[in-house]
Structure 1
C-alpha cells in the first residue's frame, strides 16, 4: 500500500509541475518589464489602461446577466423535468450537451445569418440587438454546466415532498421555486454561476465576430501588440478563474458545515 501511495503522490506531483511550471514562467516574465529587476510595472500598466477597465467591466456585467438568465431558464426547467416529466430528462440532458458538441463559431455564424440587417429581425444592426444576441449565446454556452449543477442539487432533496408541503400551505409555482426550491439548491446554483462567470470572462469567438468590446478580444489584441503586458493580463485572468473555483469550494464546504451543525 505504501508503494502504491508513493506512486500516486508522484503522479500528482508530476501533473502539478506540468501545469504550474508554465504559469510560473509566465509570471516571472511578466515581472521583468523593467530591466533593473523584478517589478509589478506590467500589472500597473494593464490595470491602469482605460480599455482594460472598460472591457473587463463590460464582461463582468454581461457575465452577471448571463448568470441571471441561466438561473431563470435552468432552475424551473430542471425542477419541472424532475417533478412532472422525468421521461424527458434524457432529451433535456442531450439538448444541454449540444453546446459542447457544436463549436461556438457555428452558433455565432448562425446568429449572423439569421439576424443580419437584411433579415426580418435585424438584431446585428443595433447595439442592443447585438448585446441581446451575445447574452443568449453565452447563456447557451453555459447550459451544460448550469444544468448539471442544478440537476445535481435537485437530486439531493425530495422535490415531491417539498412541493406537496408548499402547495398544502397555499403556495403557487412561482413562490415554490423562489422560496422552497432555490434556497435548497443554492450551492449548486452558485457552482454553475461561478463556472458561467469564468466562461464569459474569457470568451472570444462570440465577442470578436459580433464586434463587441469585451475582455476576450482585448486579451487577444494585447497579446498581438505588447510584450510583457499580455503575460500580466493572462495571470490576472487565471487569478479570476481560480478565485471562482475557490469560491465554489468555499461555499460548498460552508454549506456542508452549516448542514452538519443543524
Structure 2
C-alpha cells in the first residue's frame, strides 16, 4: 500500500485534531520568530540574534549551564543505573517504592527544594553517623554551590532519567547478561560499565538529553543559589529588552529539537541493529 493510500484512510477527525494541535504549537512559535526578526523598523533581519550572541554574558552563562548539565548527567548515570539494575536483578519488590520516590519532583515545587537546600547547607552541619563537622557552609564558596545545584538538578531530572533507564533495561535480558558475564569472571563494575551500559545507550541518551534541556532552561534553583546560569540570564534579559530574549528563546527551542533529533537518530540506529 502506497503512502498516499494510507493517508487517505486516516479519518477526517484525526486530521482535524492533528491540524488543530499543530496550529496550537506552531502559531506561538511563528509569532516569536516573527517578533525577533523585527528589531529594526520596517526591516526583517537578524540584528536581535547578532546582538544577543555578541553579549559576552550570554556565552558565559550558556557554557556554565552546559557544564552544570554535563555534571548532572554524569552524576545521575552513576546513581540511577546501578540502582535500576539492582532493583531489576535482585529487588523487584522495591520497584514501586523507587517509582514513587522518582515521582516526588512532580509534586514538590522547585522553590521548596531550593529553600530546603539553602536552609540546611547555609550553616555549618555535621555529617550523619560521623564526627566530621563541616565548618564552612556549602553556599559560601563556588564549588560547594555547584555541588548543591547539581544535586538539585539531579532531583528535577530524576523522573525522566530513571524512567528512561528503567525502560531501556526492560528491552534487554539483564539476568541472562549478568549470568553470562559472571561465568566469564567479570566483576560487578565490569558488568555495569561494559555489559549493561552499552545495551541501554539509547535510553541513556534519551534521559541525558531531557536532563540537559531541563538544566539549561531552569530558573528557580539557579536564581536563589546565585549562580550565573543561562536561565536567570534569559529571565533578567527579558525584563529590560524585548527582541533579544525572543531570539534566544527561539535558539533554545532549536537546540531542544536538535537534541530530540539526536535521540531519534541514535534510538533508531539501535532499534535497527537490534532487529538484525
TM bin (shorter chain): over 0.9
Q: What's the secondary structure of 1:142's corresponding residue?
A: helix
How many correspondences in the alignment? 261
1:100 aligns with 2:115: no
In the TM superposition, structure 1's runs of 4+ consecutive aligned residues that sit over 3 Å from their partners are 1-4, 117-121
TM-score (ref. length: structure 2): 0.92
Match of 1:143 among 150, 153, 158: 158
Q: What's the secondary structure of 2:11's corresponding residue?
A: helix
1:85 aligns with 2:91: yes
Counterpart-to-counterpart distance in 1, 2:150 and 2:43: 43
Where do residues 55-204 of structure 1 align in structure 2 (5 Å cutoff)?
A: 55-117=61-123, 119=125, 121=134, 122-204=137-219
Residue 244 of structure 1 deviates from its aligned partner by 1.3
Residue 258 of structure 1 deviates from its aligned partner by 2.2
Counterpart-to-counterpart distance in 2, 1:186 and 1:3: 37
Residue 125 of structure 1 deviates from its aligned partner by 1.1
Structure 1 unaligned residues grouped into runs of 5+: none
Residues 46-90 of structure 1: per-residue CA shift (max 9 Å, x gap): 111100000000000110111000110110000000001111000
Structure 1 equivalent of residue 130 of structure 2: none
Structure 2 unaligned residues grouped into runs of 5+: 1-5, 127-133
Residue 259 of structure 1 deviates from its aligned partner by 2.3
1:47 aligns with 2:53: yes
**Is this contact kept in 2: 1:153–1:185, CA < 8 A?**
yes
Residue 3 of structure 1 deviates from its aligned partner by 8.5
Match of 1:233 among 238, 248, 252: 248
Residue 254 of structure 1 deviates from its aligned partner by 1.4
Residue 4 of structure 1 deviates from its aligned partner by 6.5
Counterpart-to-counterpart distance in 1, 2:257 and 2:99: 27
Residue 118 of structure 1 deviates from its aligned partner by 5.3
Structure 2 equivalent of residue 213 of structure 1: 228
Where do residues 238-257 of structure 1 align in structure 2 (5 Å cutoff)?
A: 238-257=253-272
Q: What's the secondary structure of 1:171's corresponding residue?
A: coil
RMSD (Å) for aligned C-alpha atoms:
1.4
Q: What's the secondary structure of 1:157's corresponding residue?
A: coil
**Is this contact kept in 2: 1:117–1:125, CA < 8 A?**
no
Structure 1 equivalent of residue 25 of structure 2: 19
Where do residues 25-36 of structure 1 align in structure 2 (5 Å cutoff)?
A: 25-36=31-42
Residues 148-188 of structure 1: per-residue CA shift (max 9 Å, x gap): 00000111111111101000100000000000000001100
Residue 117 of structure 1 deviates from its aligned partner by 3.5
Counterpart-to-counterpart distance in 2, 1:219 and 1:100: 24
Q: What's the secondary structure of 1:165's corresponding residue?
A: helix
